[in-house]
């Protein structure tokens, strides 16, 4: 379980580094700053995000869940205020950055199972039939 948490922490760290590389408004001074930012972001997501989602449930229902992106952006800006080596320039940058971080971490996490191991990517087993057709 601890191994899985550490791997997911590293995945979010990589996602933050990718977001800072792809977006001009997100700045990370080094790997340790990204690692610390990922840790703080994970703590905020575990503690404050469920509370914020419950508090904003009516507007979240009205926007069909799109308000969750705003919550993610606010949490990313909160991390920017706490971690000295991590900076987000504005709200719209935080919104796009949180979306990018979510996508990258989702893509990387899709290869990891609950035990922290890399899952095998499925393959297709094809068999050749008599009339030179594959099934």
In a domain, 129, yes or no: no
In a domain, 54, yes or no: yes
Question: Domain span at residue 21?
Answer: 2-109
In a domain, 133, yes or no: no
Task: Assess whether pLDDT exceeds 90 at residue 13.
Answer: yes
Residues 17-42 have pLDDT tens digits of 999 999 989 999 999 999 999 999 99
pLDDT band at 135; cut points 50, 70, 90: low
Residues 77-128 have pLDDT tens digits of 999 999 999 999 999 999 999 999 999 988 888 877 666 566 666 666 667 7
In a domain, 89, yes or no: yes
Q: Where are the beta strands (DSSP E) in 25-108?
A: 26-28, 86-88
Task: Assess whether pLDDT exceeds 80 at residue 43.
Answer: yes
Residue 34: other Cβ atoms inside 10 A: 24
In a domain, 34, yes or no: yes
Count of structural domains, the chain: 1
In a domain, 6, yes or no: yes
In a domain, 115, yes or no: no
In a domain, 50, yes or no: yes
Q: Which residues contact 124 (CB under 8 A, 6 or more apart)?
A: none
pLDDT band at 69; cut points 50, 70, 90: very high
pLDDT of amino acid 118: 63
Task: Name the pTM for this structure.
Answer: 0.79
């Amino acid at each position: 379980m601890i191994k899985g948490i550490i791997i997911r922490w590293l995945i979010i760290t990589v996602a933050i580094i990718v977001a800072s590389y792809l977006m001009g408004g997100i700045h990370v001074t080094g790997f340790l700053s990204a690692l610390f930012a990922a840790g703080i972001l994970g703590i905020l997501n575990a503690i404050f995000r469920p509370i914020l989602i419950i508090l904003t449930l009516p507007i979240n229902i009205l926007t069909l869940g799109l308000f969750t992106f705003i919550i993610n952006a606010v949490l990313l800006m909160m991390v920017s205020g706490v971690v000295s080596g991590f900076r987000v320039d504005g709200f719209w940058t935080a919104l796009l950055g949180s979306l990018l971080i979510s996508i990258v971490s989702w893509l990387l996490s899709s290869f990891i199972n609950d035990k922290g191991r890399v899952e095998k990517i499925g393959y297709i087993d094809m068999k050749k039939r008599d009339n030179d057709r594959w099934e």
